[in-house]
Amino acid sequence: MQSDAVMIVTGATNGIGFVTAQELARTGARVLMVGRDKQRLDTSINQIKSDIPEAQLDGFVADLSRVSETLLLADHIQATYSRIDVLVNNAGAFYQTRQESAEGIEMTFALNHLAPFILTTSLINMLRASAPSRIITVSSAAHQGAKMNFEDLQFNKRYSGWQAYAQSKLANLLFTYELSDRLQGSDVSVNALHPGFVKTGFGKGPSTLFTSFFGLLQNYFALSAEQGAQTSIYLATSQEVTDVTGKYFVNKLPVASSRASYDYTARRKLWDVSQQLMNDHR
C-alpha cells in the first residue's frame, strides 16, 4: 500500500464502518470518515484518536440518502485530495416502514444502492488514476432469494422492509459485477462482501415486535463489530486480493452469490436506472 494512501469509509460513525475506519487508520493511511451527523462524526474521530494518536482522520458530513449531498461529497473529495486508494461503501440501513428521502426516493434504495453507485462512479477517474486501487461494497447474505423488482423498484405499491433491504443488497452485487467488468484492465478492483450477522446499530429503531426479536437474536447469536469488520479490512488491505476483482466474499473467502446476482440484463438495467436517477437529481 502507498505510504500516502487515502481510504474512504462511509457509515464510519457506528458498527462495522467505525471499526473498519479505525483499523485502516492503524495502517498509517489517511482515512476519510463519512457520517451524516457532525457530532457523531467528531465523537468517532476523537475515539479513534485516543486509541491511535497518530491516526490521520478527516471527517465529512453527508446524508448519503440524498443524491445532491452524495454528489457534493464526491466533488469535495476530488477538490481536496490527489488520490484515492480504497473506497469502502459501508453505510446502509433497514427501514421497517416505507420512507422517502428528502428528494422523494425510497430510503432503502437511496441509501443502500444509489449512494454507492453515485459516490463510486463520481470518483471513478480518481480511483483509476490512483491504481492499483480498490472499491469495496458491504452487501449482505440477505440478497439470497431476492430479485430486482424493476416494475416497482421503490416499492410504491406494496412495501416490505425485508424485501426492500434484500433487493438493495442484491443491487450491491449487480453493481459490483458490472463495474468490475467495465474496469477490466484498469487495476481497480471491485468486490463485495457479507460481514456476517453482527451486533451493531443495524435493525434498531422504534420498539416493535420486529426490533425486540431482532435485538434478542443479536444478543445471542451476533458477531461483534470488530469481528464483522474483518472481511472489509481484509479486502481493503490484504496483498492476497490485489488482483482479485468481481467477487463476493464471506469470512475473507470468495464464494458464489445468488443466481440473480449474475444476471447480465439486470446488471445493465440497474446501471441505466441508477444513472438516470442520478442525472434527474443533479
> Catalytic residue positions?
165
- What 8-state DSSP symbol labels residue 112? I
35 part of the interface to ligand NAP, by CB under 6 A: yes
Q: Alpha-carbon torsion 77, 80, 83, 88, what sign?
A: negative
Binding part of the chain for ligand NAP, among 9-17, 76-84, 150-158, 236-244 by CB under 6 A, reads 9-17
The answer to whether 124 touches 68, Cβ cutoff 8 Å, is: no
String marking each residue 94-113 x if it binds ligand NAP according to CB under 6 A: -----------------x--
Q: How far apart are CA 172 and CA 131, in angstroms?
A: 22
Window 56-95: residues binding ligand NAP (CB under 6 A): 63-65, 90-93
161 part of the interface to ligand NAP, by CB under 6 A: no
Binding part of the chain for ligand NAP, among 29-37, 47-55, 242-250, 256-264 by CB under 6 A, reads 29-37
Kindly give the residue spans of alpha helices, DSSP state H, lying in 52-106.
67-80
Report in angstroms the alpha-carbon separations of 81 from 47, 118, 143, 267: 24, 18, 34, 31
Starting at the edge strand found earlier in the chain, the sheet holding 247-250 runs: 56-61, 30-35, 6-10, 86-89, 133-138, 188-194, 247-250, 253-255
String marking each residue 187-226 x if it binds ligand NAP according to CB under 6 A: -------xx-xx-xxx------------------------
258 part of the interface to ligand NAP, by CB under 6 A: no
Q: Which residues lie near ligand NAP (CB under 6 A)?
A: 11, 13-17, 35-37, 40, 63-65, 90-93, 111, 138, 140, 194-195, 197-198, 200-202
